[in-house]
Amino acid sequence: MTRRVAFLGGGKMGEALVSGLIRSGGRNPDEIMVTARREERVRELAERNGVAATLSNPEAVEWAETVVLTVKPQDIEALLGQIAEHVTPEHLVVSFAAGVRTSFVEKHLASGVPVVRVMSNVAVLVDEAMSVVSPGSHAEDKHVSVAEELLGYVGRVIRLPEVHLDAITATSGSGPAYFFLLAEAMIEACILLGLSRDVATELIIQTMLGSAKMLRDTGKHPVELREMVTSPGGTTIAAIRHLEEAGVRAAFLNAIDAARKRSAELARGGEEEGDA
């Protein structure tokens, strides 16, 4: 089922998914079609990835079995208007539009079309994304499995009910920005201490990468790992005391909760689904 995949929207996310699928062997180039708004971009996508590319969203839908919506949220309604007559219940529609609920997509398509909503993050660009998939009202297990398979080539995937997606948006969706901000602050601290920016950047990036791998690969709780490098009366506990006194932990809790609330405010479609 669903070998032929059309990506409607050949921007950074769309192309990252296309290149990741091809690179991993998940799909052959002749099983992928991608759309773009400009002829120049269409040629670029075709030449760089070896896939079919077109300006016509309806053409791509009619060719495909799975239709992946990778346009910006503000463009989703216009896109759905273009393809509505061409999407049938035999298609699977996978939407990456942040804040756009499955009910909104379903409302603009024929009755019975299976829709799966995805919340991923920018790490799809390096095949290390964290993605969450949620089925709409007509999506069965087989449909969600296709979405999981596609996303599995560019990172890790879990399945959750859609009611949780505002929380997912605030955590893993926006999460890379929090880590980038932390890296920026730590690099600036290194510079304050007299290190060059190049040295500081290398130190912090590798430290973050190694710490992330320890969290993922050891299976230990963050507290256990922190205690491994926190000696009594040492330098690390002195730094952590200042972070706690500055309210860093509470700031993260409040910031992520604010992001979750903003995601709920921006959500389009199906207000009856409630706030996550």
Interval 14-31 mean pLDDT: 93
The pLDDT > 90 percentage for the chain reads 91
> Is 5-160's fold the same as 175-259's?
no
Residue 90, SS3 per DSSP = coil
Pick the CATH number of 175-259 from 3.30.2270.10, 1.10.3730.10, 3.40.1190.20, 3.90.550.10: 1.10.3730.10
The pLDDT assigned to 269 comes to 56
Name the residue type at position 188.
E
Closest CA to 204 of 214, 217, 191, 194: 191
The yes-or-no verdict on residue 272 having pLDDT over 80 is no
Q: Which CATH superfamily is domain 5-160 in?
A: NAD(P)-binding Rossmann-like Domain (3.40.50.720)
3-state helix, strand, coil in the chain (%, to 5): 60, 15, 25
Q: For residue 270, what pLDDT is reported?
A: 45
| Confidence band of 55 (pLDDT split at 50, 70, 90) | very high
Kindly provide the residue ranges of all beta strands, DSSP E only, lying in the chain, ordered along the sequence.
5-8, 32-35, 52-54, 66-69, 92-95, 115-119, 129-135, 155-159
Confidence class for position 275, pLDDT limits 50, 70, 90: very low
Task: Compute CA distances 43 → 27, 40, 49, 189, 215, whole Å.
Answer: 20, 5, 10, 45, 42
Give 266's pLDDT tier (boundaries 50, 70, 90). confident
pTM of this structure: 0.88
How confident is the model over 73-125, as pLDDT tens digits? Answer: 899 999 999 999 999 999 999 999 988 999 999 999 999 999 999 999 999 98
Map out the domains of the chain as residue ranges. 5-160, 175-259
Does residue 244 have a pLDDT over 90? yes
Structure confidence at residue 267 (pLDDT): 81
